[in-house]
Structure 1
């Protein structure tokens, strides 16, 4: 699940080894990680470990602002460990200059449009302390279904598990602008 997806403003393309510097440039501002559990991910060595994880596990798409041709973040498709046969979207971050509904919504719109060709629902796993991501996911139309302790990275951790159905996404897209 590493397609190339394109809109008027955004390009999502498979992560490659030579994307490190561009992706790190998007990640090196401490403000980008201020509300995230991994508050020190702006540090080069910490980010390198994250990048290596993304590279080694597949499914990651690099987000490129088509007007500047700069990498602005990434997101990833992955299988939910507790939902066999399902698909999840996560490990998403955007450079803080791109925060706000339009960019995250645009990225998710491309990814969800692609995945709903094959799946009827998508899962999102969000750290309980990451309020920004919880709110953004709810704005997509996803609902918090349960909490679980899952190994999505190196070690098991607590996650809030949100589900977005194809029907709820269709209703969300019927609205003209992201809220």
Structure 2
């Protein structure tokens, strides 16, 4: 699977992240309210985001999320490296002006449809206390699994939970029809 295709929806284009996206993407990410309940709550800071951005470019699978109506970069997401018959979607953030208006659902629908053509399952690793992301997972049909793990974020150990969407559940779920 090509982890950086161009995916196009009604209102969004997802295209491979490029080094010259730095200014536009940091302009979005520098809004500290985006990260207020995120385990990496310091990601709005320029040196922290610079490392996040470099990791996105180095690791592959990262997208710039573009609003088709304005051409503006409004966020980012990534496909993680595949593991067996599953792949992760994560590292997602959107400008707050796009919250609650279906843009996250459209982005996830595009990514899920593409990934599930190649894998049986897509997983999402979410901070156990990240209520915004957990709620968003419910809206897109994510099923909370019993898989948990810990990551060090902002210098502390943060518990995470794992949600999944399978090929079968996606076909029957809220995002399948678009």
TM over 0.5: yes
> Given that residues 147 and 158 in structure 1 are in contact (C-alpha distance below 8 angstroms), is that contact kept between their aligned partners in structure 2?
no
Structure 1 residues 174 and 95: alpha-carbon distance in aligned structure 2, compared to 1, 3 A threshold: closer
The runs of at least 4 aligned residues of structure 1 exceeding 6 Å deviation read 174-177
TM-score, normalized by length of structure 2? 0.88
CA offset at residue 176 of structure 1? 6.9
> Size of the alignment, in residue pairs?
174
Provide the rounded CA distance (Å) in 1 between the counterparts of 2:169 and 2:127. Answer: 22
Per-residue deviation at 1:164?
Answer: 0.6
Name 2:125's counterpart in structure 1: 125
* Alignment partner of 1:58 out of 57, 60, 71: 60
Does residue 1:36 correspond to 2:38, yes or no? yes
Kindly tell me: are residues 166 and 104 of structure 1, through their superposed partners in 2, closer, same or farther at Cα, counting changes over 3 Å? same
Q: CA deviation at 1:42?
A: 1.2
Q: Give the structure 2 partner of residue 171 of structure 1.
A: 172
Alignment of 1:25-174 (within 5 A): 25-79=27-81, 83-149=83-149, 158-173=159-174
8 Å Cα contact 1:20/1:51 also seen in 2: yes
Structure 1 residue 174: Cα displacement: 6.9
| Structure 2, unaligned runs of 5 or more | none
Give the deviation of 1:92 after TM superposition.
Answer: 0.5
State the TM-score, normalized to the length of structure 1.
0.88
CA RMSD of aligned residues (A): 2.3
